[in-house]
Amino acid sequence: MSETVIDTQELGEKIVRVLKTIYDPEIPVDIYELGLIYDVFVNEDKEVKILMTLTSPNCPVAETLPVEVEEKVKSLDVVKDAEVEITFDPPWSQELMSEEAKLELGLL
């Protein structure tokens, strides 16, 4: 059992590293630091589900960003499948951004 826990935790960290390579085109900060990723679920079959939001429902990348996230996560060797679910509950706000992102954008 503990092996699975370590695997999924390691995989989670790899997924986060991949997410940090994806940027919102309007803001020079990656989607993870922006707080767009609400949750990452990994099951024992190495299938990944990512719950994320966008800065607004009218976000210009609403069609392409989730696909990019799915494709980049699927590109990890150990990931069997990846699915992105978009939610606007709760809606994104600047409070969800990391300190690093706020600093980057001059909000601190």
- Average pLDDT rounded to a whole number, residues 31-54: 95
pLDDT digits (tens, 9 = 90+) for 64-87: 999 999 999 999 999 999 999 999
Structural domains in the chain, sorted by start: 2-93 (3.30.300.130)
Q: Residue 3 above 80 pLDDT?
A: no
3-7, 93-97, 99-103: least confident range = 3-7
For a pLDDT cut of 90, what percent of the chain falls above it? Answer: 70
Whether 23 and 61 have beta carbons less than 8 Å apart is answered as no
pLDDT the model gives residue 6: 56
When pLDDT is cut at 50, 70 and 90, the band that residue 51 belongs to is: very high
pLDDT at 56 (0 to 100): 87
Residue of 3, 18, 35 whose CA lies nearest to 74: 18
CB atoms within 10 A of CB 61: 17
| Of 5-9, 54-58, 67-71, the least confident | 5-9
pLDDT of residue 4: 55
Helices (H), 20-108: 64-74, 99-104
Average pLDDT, the chain: 91
DSSP helix/strand/coil, 49: strand
